[in-house]
């Protein structure tokens, strides 16, 4: 009897670009992709962080380089992608949040959050996909969304709007790019303990409220998210596109 071949999660010979890679989910994703065999480019504004991170990855014997880049500078981001060999994998991770009551949100708050979470992600995906299409190569775009792209929450009006938009964008790109073999999916974490979320979670009342909605009873760790990212980047997910992989501990199950 001939058994079906098992799926491969390896990424040997592939090039991956990870934004917001200096800390949190981005850093963990870069390390995980490199461990799976990819040559990883870590992009962020913070030169010191990403250079140290790339060096740490190389010290493990994996392949990594740093790219100092503000992804909200659309022209600079497109130029950086154009100057490099095509990226087989994009992890659109850079993001921010400004939690406020809806009636106190300013135009600046809106522009900052939507500018990074949606506008920058849109045009970076455009640049990466354009290079893949020009080279006639397949690829995988993984947009880091959120459980908040599937539910609503108080004080998260802009953030929810940006992540629901990312979900819609992902489905549209999956439809448009599928014939070229470019898969586009989202990973949707619950609250993960990272430098961005730590100040919010330091509030005991807020932390208790969050934990009450996570059915598995704990906050997420970056390691909980990276398995989903490597899966979607790899051939193990060869038939997966336009999907949202919820890593939310059951938050959205009810």
The answer to whether position 176 is within a domain reads yes
Catalytic annotation present for 231? no
By the 8 A CB rule, do 165 and 118 touch?
yes
- For residue 195, the model assigns a pLDDT of 83
Let me know if residue 207 belongs to a domain: no
Is residue 7 in some structural domain? no
Longest dimension (CA), the chain: 66
Q: What pLDDT was estimated at residue 191?
A: 97
Mean pLDDT of 155-179: 98
pTM of the predicted model over 0.75 = yes
pLDDT digits (tens, 9 = 90+) for 64-107: 999 999 999 999 999 999 999 999 999 999 999 999 999 999 99
Q: Could you write out the DSSP letters of every residue in 169-224?
A: HHHHHHHHHGGGTEEEEEEEE--B-STTTHHHHTSHHHHHHHHHH-TTSS-B-HHH
Residue 211 lies in a domain: no
Task: Give the residue numbers spanning the domain of 129.
Answer: 15-191+223-246
Of 27, 4, 64, 80, the C-alpha closest to 229 is 27
Is the confidence at residue 188, as pLDDT, over 90? yes
Does the residue 213 lie in any domain?
no
Strand order across the beta sheet in which 182-189 lies: 63-68, 39-44, 15-19, 89-92, 139-144, 182-189, 244-247
Position 251 in a domain: no
Within a domain: 208: no
- Answer yes or no: is 253 within a domain: no
Count of the separate structural domains present in the chain: 1
Task: Indicate whether 200 pLDDT > 90.
Answer: no
Given 123, 159, 164, 251, the catalytic residue = 159
Percent of all residues in the chain with a pLDDT value above 70, rounded to a whole number: 100
Q: What is the pLDDT of residues 23-63, one digit of tens each?
A: 999 999 999 999 999 999 999 999 999 999 999 999 999 99
Q: What pLDDT is attached to residue 29?
A: 98
CATH code at 54? 3.40.50.720
């Amino acid at each position: 009897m001939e058994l079906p071949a098992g799926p491969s999660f390896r990424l040997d010979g592939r090039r991956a670009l990870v934004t917001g890679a200096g800390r949190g989910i981005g850093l963990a994703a870069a390390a995980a992709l490199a461990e799976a065999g990819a040559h990883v480019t870590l992009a962020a504004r913070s030169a010191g962080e990403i250079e140290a991170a790339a060096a740490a990855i190389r010290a493990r014997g994996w392949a990594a380089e740093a790219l100092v880049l503000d992804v909200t500078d659309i022209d600079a981001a497109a130029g950086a992608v154009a100057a490099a060999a095509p990226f087989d994998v994009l992890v659109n991770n850079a993001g921010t949040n400004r939690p406020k009551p809806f009636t106190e949100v300013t135009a600046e708050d809106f522009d900052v959050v939507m500018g990074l979470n949606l506008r920058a992600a849109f045009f970076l995906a455009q640049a990466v996909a354009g290079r893949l299409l020009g080279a006639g190569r397949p690829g995988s775009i993984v947009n880091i969304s959120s459980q908040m792209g599937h539910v609503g929450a108080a004080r998260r009006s802009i953030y929810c709007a940006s992540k629901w938009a990312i979900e819609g964008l992902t489905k549209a790109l999956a439809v448009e790019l599928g014939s070229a073999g470019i898969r586009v999916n989202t990973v949707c974490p619950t609250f993960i303990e990272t430098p961005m979320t730590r100040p919010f979670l330091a509030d005991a009342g807020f932390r208790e409220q969050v934990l009450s909605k996570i059915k598995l009873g704990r906050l997420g760790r970056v390691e909980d998210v990276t398995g989903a990212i490597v899966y979607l980047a790899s051939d193990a997910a060869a038939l997966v596109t336009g999907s949202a992989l919820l890593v939310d501990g059951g938050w959205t199950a009810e």
